[in-house]
Structure 1
Amino acid sequence: MNGDLVFFLSGGMLLLACLLKLPALVRARGRDWLLSSICALLLVGACVLFLTAPSTIVLLRQATGITNIAVPLIYVMLTAFSGASIVLVLNWRGAADVAQTRRLSRITIAVYGTCCALIAILFTLGNAPVEQRTRFDTYYATTPFIREMIVLYLVAHAAASMTAGRLCWRWSHEVHGTLRIGLRVLAAGYLMHYAGYDPSVAGAVAARWAGHDGDFLIDVARAATAPSAVLVAIGFIVPLAGPRSEEAVRYWQLAPLTKAVRLVKDAPGPAPLPIPWWKRNLHLRLTQRQTYISDRIMTCRSHFDTRVSNEARAAALAGNASEEAAAIIAEAAMIAAAVDLYCATNGEAPALPPASPDQRTSYTGDLADIARALRSPIVKDSCRRARMERAGV
């Protein structure tokens, strides 16, 4: 069972990822081809890992009466998975020439479909009477037809892994955010396939052809199987979860600023309702929170004091902050002081100095950046000095 554990755990992770996406797939009702394709790949990947476990190989032999029947099943499913990965990445990326993408997809499907059929035919023509749970490739490396089946599978798998990996890596230079992260994780997963798994198995088979024992390389290949499959699964899932997770993070990041402007009572619009981040209408709640903050900041715009902004910016620059960071801190200090002054005067027009040419009446920074800057000691010091000036201290 110890030899099975890593495959069952890794397969379970892929199956869990597929199940987590199942509600979204049901809601899409087949209209989201990308989500459908990724769920199918996750399910196939989980099945491959379950089949690779030594105990599963024994169960299949007992159930079918065919020795080593799990091997062609694994080879066919992995080959299909490899071809489907290329097709998915091609269509996921899209291209100006849609006809070319479709043509390449059809060619890939035809080539890998043929490989799957040939694997099944070669296994039927060959003879593999001795059960091999972990050393099939080297034990039958010189057996007619089985030898060709192994070579065909390795070539198809390596070519697909290299192609999909290169496509993902090149595309990752053109995008940002969670899509870039997902593509680079995918590239790493495919790299483990064609730079780790495939050369190890090929080296072990070649050693057997030369009359040497290279079985230790099979252990290296098996060690790379589960991690690479998990990386590929994560790489596909991250971009799908990305927009939702980014919205959740942003909703959480805006909490300090929401709390700071809540004291402004006369602004239009209702207060945002507290809801769990995983709710389906998170996008609407995020929009509501941003609108709530913006309305209250604009209500206080007549209380903006350029002196507070300039002093905070100078203090930030003196503390070796960058120009961009100093500008954000200055805006956060100005907004915090304006809210404080608005509440102190009950919304009445403040007795500020005459407006200068650079008098601020709005803000330009991102709300999430401003919310983070509220924690800066410079912002707190600016508000404290403003309150002391009003009190005549």
Structure 2
Amino acid sequence: MTGDLIFFVSGGMLLLACLLKLPALIRTRGRDRLLSSICAILLVGSGVLFLTAPSAITFLRRATGVTNIAVPAIYILLTAFSGASIVLVLNWRGGPDLSQTRRLSRLTIWIYGTCCALIAVLFALGDTPVEERFRFDTYYATTPYIGEMIALYLVAHAAATFTASRLCWRWSHEVHGTLRSGLRVLATGYLMHYAGYDPAVAAAVGARWTGHNWDFLIEFARLMTAPSAILVAVGFMIPLLGQRTAEAVRYWQLGPLARAVRPVEGGSSPVLLALPWWQPHLRLRLTQRQTFISDRIVSCKVYFDGQIRDEVRAAALADGAAPETASAIADAAMIAAAVELHRHNSKQRSTPPIGEYAQAVGYTADLAHISRFVRSPIVRDIRRRVSTNVQA
């Protein structure tokens, strides 16, 4: 079981990444080709790692009664994974010429689909009577048809991992944030296959062809498999988790401001549920919260008072706040004061007085930054002062 653990953990990470994408795939009903490609590659990758575990190889042989049946199964899945990696990166990146992307995708699918079929045919034509769980490549390197199957798999796999690594690395120079980080981790994971696993296996097989024994390289290649697979899994997960985490954080940050503008009449009640980062509708909830806040700020904009904003900003600067922070505090105070005035005049059913600055004043800071200071002491003082004045 100890030898299986790293393969099961690595496969579990890929499966987890697939499950994180599954709700979005269900919502689109499979119409999103990019999303479908991502789920397919993660699912195939997890299958490869689960099947590579020694206990899984033994179970498959016993279940089917075919000696070494796990080998062509793994080769086919890895070849499919390699081709799907190229297709995924091509469609993920996109580009101005969509027709070229589709042509390249179809060509890649055709080439690697053919390779998968040839692997199955060559294994069926060959003869592998001795079960070899760990050194199949070198043991059968000179066996008719099986040697050709091994060579075909290595060439297809090396070409795909090199291409995918190169595409990811080049694209990473054009983007920023978690997408860049994810692409560079992906490029490293694919490069470990191309620069580590493939050369080691190819050298060991080539040595057998020339009458030498370099089987120790097979063990080195096996050691490269799981770390590179983990990097690929992490590379796919980083942009996904980064985006979801950013949405969850912003949703949480806007909470105080959403509650502060709630007294402004009009519109539906806000959604203030504490949503976990894996909630599939989080982006929709975030949009609803931002819309809710913006609509209510527009409703009470006639009560914006530039004098309050200038006063609070000057006080914040005097207390040592940075200019950006002072502006956010001032906007929060102005909005809080406007909410109090709107609530009072709505109860009195009076016409809102258009102040001297009302038509020209607007908030300048980001809503999430404003929300951070809604409950600050200076904003609470402004709210109390305005409330006292309107009740007097």
Structure 2 residue runs of 5 or longer lacking an equivalent are 346-354
AA paired with 1:305? R
AA paired with 2:232? V
Pairing partner for 1:305 from 303, 309, 315: 309
Report the equivalent of 1:106.
106
2:178·2:242 contact (CA, 8 Å) conserved in 1?
yes
Question: How far apart are residue 97 of structure 1 and its match?
Answer: 2.5
Q: Does the alignment pair 1:217 with 2:217?
A: yes
2:67·2:130 contact (CA, 8 Å) conserved in 1?
yes
Report the equivalent of 2:91.
91
Distance 1:281 1:54, change over 3 A: closer
- The equivalences for 1:8-157 within 5 A come to 8-157=8-157
Report the equivalent of 2:270.
272
Structure 1 residue runs of 5 or longer lacking an equivalent are 349-353
Distance 1:268 1:150, change over 3 A: same
Q: 1:101-156 deviations in whole A, cap 9, x for unaligned?
A: 23222322232223223323333444432211112223333444433322321221
Aligned identity (percent) is 63
1:94·1:101 contact (CA, 8 Å) conserved in 2?
yes
Question: How far apart are residue 66 of structure 1 and its match?
Answer: 2.5
1:297·1:335 contact (CA, 8 Å) conserved in 2?
no
CA RMSD of aligned residues (A): 3.8
- The equivalences for 1:320-335 within 5 A come to 326-335=323-332
Question: How far apart are residue 31 of structure 1 and its match?
Answer: 1.7
Distance 1:273 1:19, change over 3 A: closer
- The equivalences for 1:209-248 within 5 A come to 214-237=214-237, 239=239, 244-248=244-248
- In 1: Cα distance, 2:281 partner to 2:105 partner: 36
Runs of 4+ in 1 over 6 A off after TM superposition: 381-388
Question: How far apart are residue 261 of structure 1 and its match?
Answer: 4.7
Report the equivalent of 1:190.
190
TM-score if structure 1 supplies the norm length? Answer: 0.78
2:185·2:232 contact (CA, 8 Å) conserved in 1?
yes
AA paired with 1:272? P
Moved more, 35-44 or 144-153: 144-153
- In 2: Cα distance, 1:251 partner to 1:226 partner: 36
2:327·2:365 contact (CA, 8 Å) conserved in 1?
no
2:90·2:101 contact (CA, 8 Å) conserved in 1?
yes
Question: How far apart are residue 213 of structure 1 and its match?
Answer: 5.0
Distance 1:373 1:201, change over 3 A: farther
- In 1: Cα distance, 2:101 partner to 2:342 partner: 64
- In 1: Cα distance, 2:264 partner to 2:99 partner: 58
Report the equivalent of 2:5.
5
Question: How far apart are residue 76 of structure 1 and its match?
Answer: 1.4
Question: How far apart are residue 77 of structure 1 and its match?
Answer: 1.4
Q: 1:260-282 deviations in whole A, cap 9, x for unaligned?
A: 555xx345445413224255554
Question: How far apart are residue 157 of structure 1 and its match?
Answer: 0.7
TM-score if structure 2 supplies the norm length? Answer: 0.78
- In 1: Cα distance, 2:31 partner to 2:338 partner: 53
Question: How far apart are residue 160 of structure 1 and its match?
Answer: 0.4
Distance 1:146 1:235, change over 3 A: same
Question: How far apart are residue 57 of structure 1 and its match?
Answer: 1.8
- Local SS of the residue matching 2:166: helix
